[in-house]
Chain A
Amino acid sequence: MARRISVRSKVLATVGAWLVGFVIFFPILWMVLTSFKTELAAFSTPPSFLFFEWTSENYTAVEARSDYVHHALNSIIIAGGSTLIAILIAIPAAWAMAFAPTERTRSTLLWMLSTKMMPPVGVLVPIYLLFRDFNLLDTRSGLIMVLCLGNLPIVVWMLFTYFKEVPKDILEAARMDGATIGRELLFVLTPMVIPGLASTFLLNVILAWNESFWTLNLSTLKAAPLTVFIASYSSPEGLFWARLSAASTLAIAPILVLGWFSQRQLVRGLTFGAVK
């Protein structure tokens, strides 16, 4: 910065920013704090902020519930599986669009993006019925399929942008060096796009992990991921706030960590390049 930033404006900005950040983050913070309270303390007024009896009983209770682990496993399998499959399907398409574009490529890509803009609720009925008739309701494979197809446009799009960032002439240099297409992919392209692949995987795992529409409607118990499990705390008997907080903290902690690493990918993946 050519201009000298006054200490005063720096302090003001810092204080302001931290204040804003704290206010926005507060609900999460509050939830984490609550998870360490006893159920009674969680529910009582006035609420205590830091000086309460910290306990980990809620976490042990949650983990003892075998169905928590079951649902967590489902989340991992469904989010991880659907993203992995989406990436495998998307890689050739993204490669083709980035390195072998035709006159149609542009409209194809835009069309793919537009499929992501379709409201899932618009096809809730047929999907539900198809799932019912093919015994896919409440199955992990069914959910993996739906989430995979739902995220496929974003995966293709993100891989496309990462592939495009590989300078064309490095690939041409490989060709001049005598590499066939296969070896060009193996020795030159793949090492250069691994960061991009990782980023795409990261963001889409997060999106799949948090996906609530299809998971709430297409699963009940066996295949239900954490989104559904948490939702079960909404019933009136679920007055287990502390336990809810503990379960929620466990459910979102990994994603928050991953999410911090994928801020840039968020911009890239969800604005479809309209904002750079």
Chain B
Amino acid sequence: MGSITLQGVRKSFGPVNVISGADLEITNGSFVVFVGPSGCGKTTLLRLIAGLEDVTDGRILIDGVNVVNVPPAKRGLSMVFQSYALYPHMSVRSNIGFGLKMAGMQRSEIARKVEAAAATLNLSPYLDRRPRELSGGQRQRVAIGRAIVREPKAFLFDEPLSNLDAALRVNMRVEIARLQRDLATTTVYVTHDQVEAMTMADKIVVLNAGNIEQYGSPLELYERPANLFVAGFIGSPRMNFIKGRIAAENGAATIGVRPEHIAPVRDGSGWSGTVSVAEHLGSDTFLYIDGEEIGSVTARTTGEFGVNPGDRVKLRPDPARIYRFDEQGKAIHA
């Protein structure tokens, strides 16, 4: 009762192709995150689903019905905007209840639902305030309240956390995930932050320049990236890519290995390099190493590894965790 399917969805602005042929199946109740760098088309894709933009080609099915020609007001979806988009001249109560008013619900019924939603989001004391009297975090919860009170087929979130400070962001991440689990409503969530994607999603759609690079669960994307782009996008710090002789040795044009899968040692066998920057966090150590054959490589170890800039080290990658990519950047599976 909330499944979304995209078939061959294409969007172009004039000659510019923003989305090229997207096919996607979002099952009812799942939390799907669209992630990718700036300009990759993730927000456009969301807005196509919402109906705020027309598709150039293709079909969008909500519960099996093609809604491409249905206006956004009638698609039964709710959206939480990046800027929250609260109605400035209405109280929190009216903001949340607006959608229900548009649906023609009875006043008493609206009041009941608004109060219930406000209680869930800890907004009850603020119901009669105006948006301008609220903090960023409170406004965001009002935006979420407005979305959930309509009990839509799916929630659409457009980078809702980017305007919050770091601490608040972490809290809200947890709250949104918990909310979605309780309500069991399909959710499509757009973000550029891959940490948000990895922590919140059931499945992730990685977008790049209008193309869907990979669609899978967070762990799938981490452990079996389909190509160079996904491999480099998921995981922080970024996967190391090495070309040249070492890559050829492994039978690939490029090999990739994550910093957490490289063990630095002071001497012995391994790739050689010099430490250029060492970050000692106590719980982890991040080493930025330059080597002739390996280029710039990041290595990460747990605990303290006492080296300083200028020291020579050897790097031992875990052979089971070396990814191989061909000239086109596609992953070579064993």
A and B touch in the complex (CB under 8 A): yes
Q: How far is the CA of A170 from the CA of B146 in the complex (A)?
A: 13
A176-B79, A178-B99 known; A170+B86 contact, CB < 8 A: yes
Residue B166 interfacial (CB < 8 Å): no
* A18 lies within 8 A of chain B by Cβ: no
Q: Taking the complex as formed, is B150 at the interface, i.e. its CB lies under 8 A from any CB of chain A? A: yes
A178 to B149, CA, bound (A): 13
In the bound complex, CA of A176 to CA of B73 (Å): 5
A153 to chain B, nearest CB (A): 29
Residues of B with C-beta under 8 A to A188: 87
Contact B78 A176 (CB under 8 A): yes
Cross-chain contact B79 with A178 (CB below 8 angstroms) = no
B271 neighbours in A (Cβ, 8 Å): none
How many residues on the B side are at the interface (Cβ–Cβ under 8 A)?
24
Other-chain contact of B85, A173, A178, A180 (Cβ < 8 Å): A173
Closest to B75 in A: A176
Choice from A176, A177, A192 contacting B89 with Cβ under 8 Å: A192
The residue among B77, B78, B82 with the most chain A CB atoms within 10 A of its own CB is B78
Q: Could you tell me the distance between the alpha carbons of A178 and B104 in the complex, rounded to whole angstroms?
A: 10
User: Contact between A177 and B150 (Cβ–Cβ < 8 Å)?
Assistant: yes
Cβ of B148 < 8 Å from any Cβ of A? no
Contacts of A178 in B (CB 8 A): 73-74, 99, 102-103, 150
The tally of CB-CB contacts under 8 A between chains A and B is: 59
Q: In this assembly, does A172 line the interface, its C-beta being within 8 Å of a C-beta of chain B?
A: yes
Q: Does B306 contact A (CB under 8 A)?
A: no
B102 and A177 within 8 A (CB): yes
Find out whether the CB atom of B99 lies under 8 angstroms from the CB atom of A177: yes
State which residues 153-208 of A face B: CB under 8 Å: 167, 169-170, 172-180, 183, 187-188, 191-192
Number of A residues contacting the other chain (C-beta, 8 Å)?
17
Contact among B74, B81, B89 with A173 in the assembled complex (CB-CB below 8 Å): B81
Bound complex: CA A172 to CA B103 (Å) = 16
CA distance A191 to B98 in the complex (A): 14
Those of B52-95 within 8 Å (CB) of chain A:
52, 71-74, 77-79, 81-83, 85-89
Contact B52 A172 (CB under 8 A): yes
Given known pairs A169-B85, A192-B88, the reply for A175 and B98 (CB within 8 Å) is no
B239 part of interface (Cβ distance < 8 Å): no
| A-contacting residues, B99-129, CB 8 Å | 99, 102-103
Cβ-defined contact, B87 with A170, below 8 A = yes
CB–CB B83/A183 < 8 A: no
| Inter-chain contacts of A170 with B (CB < 8 A) | 85-88
Determine if A175 and B99 form an interchain contact, defined as CB atoms under 8 angstroms apart.
no
> Quick one: which of A172, A179, A183 contacts B81, CB cutoff 8 A?
A172
Given contacts A169-B81, A169-B83, A175 and B52 within 8 Å (CB-CB): yes
- The answer on a CB contact under 8 Å between A177 and B85 is no
Whether the pair B87, A180 counts as a contact (CB closer than 8 A) is: no
Which residues on the A side are within 8 Å of B87 (C-beta)? 170, 173-174, 188
Determine whether the beta carbon of B86 is less than 8 Å from that of A175.
no
Is B19 interfacial (CB-CB < 8 Å)? no
Contact A176 B83 (CB under 8 A): no
Q: Cβ of A179 and Cβ of B73 under 8 Å apart?
A: yes
B71 & A175 in contact (Cβ 8 Å cutoff): yes
Knowing A177-B98, A177-B102 are in contact, say whether A167-B73 is a contact too (CB < 8 A).
no
B51 to chain A, nearest CB (A): 8
Residues of A with C-beta under 8 A to B9: none
**A187 CA to B71 CA, complexed, in Å:** 18
In the bound complex, how far is the Cα of B216 from the Cα of A262, in angstroms? 58
Residue in A172, A183, A191 whose beta carbon sits within 8 Å of that of B102 in the complex: A183
Query: Can you list 6 contacts pairing A with B, beta carbon distance less than 8 Å?
Result: A169-B85, A172-B85, A174-B87, A176-B52, A176-B78, A176-B79
Given contacts A174-B87, A177-B78, 6 further A-B contacts (CB under 8 A): A169-B81, A172-B85, A173-B85, A177-B99, A178-B150, A192-B88
5 shortest interchain CB distances as A-B pairs: A177-B99, A178-B102, A173-B85, A169-B85, A191-B89
